[in-house]
Amino acid sequence: DTEVTQTPKHLVMGMTNKKSLKCEQHMGHRAMYWYKQKAKKPPELMFVYSYEKLSINESVPSRFSPECPNSSLLNLHLHALQPEDSALYLCASSWDRGTPEAFFGQGTRLTVV
């Protein structure tokens, strides 16, 4: 299994809603990442987890809350988002931070209305 699975694929939420994005991998990778990609822009790092501990928070607003319940699972909890948060959210994993292979999930297309 060489896949990173993200759910849901699409999400539309209001600004007062609470929702969660889910990411799962069963490759034994110990580093997992959340990236945000706006239209026609490159992906930008949001969070890095290494061995289930938050390693980097790139000054992301608190309305985004990551969680890593175990080494295979990564969540991104969303609350009180703004329309400008609409984007493609990508999860990725690798054996460890900085190791050659970085596998990306299919992404969640988020629209905030």
Partner 1 sequence: ELKVEQNPLFLSMQEGKNYTIYCNYSTTSDRLYWYRQDPGKSLESLFVLLSNGAVKQEGRLMASLDTKARLSTLHITAAVHDLSATYFCAVVGGSQGNLIFGKGTKLSVKP
Residues found near partner 1 in the complex (CB under 8 A): 31, 33, 40-45, 48, 50, 55-56, 88, 90, 92, 94, 96-107, 109
Considering the complex, what minimum distance in angstroms separates the CB of residue 89 from partner 1? 10
Q: Considering the complex, state which of residue 44 and residue 80 has its C-beta at the smaller distance from partner 1.
A: 44
**Amino acid present at 69:** P
Shorter beta-carbon distance to partner 1: residue 16 or 39: 39
Question: Does residue 85 sit in helix, strand or coil?
Answer: helix
Closest to 104 (Cα-Cα) out of 94, 95, 91: 91
Of 20 and 95, the one with the shorter C-beta distance to partner 1 is: 95
CB 43, min distance to partner 1, A: 6
Q: What is the DSSP code string of 11-50?
A: EEE-TT-EEEEEEEE-S---EEEEEEE-TTS--EEEEEEE
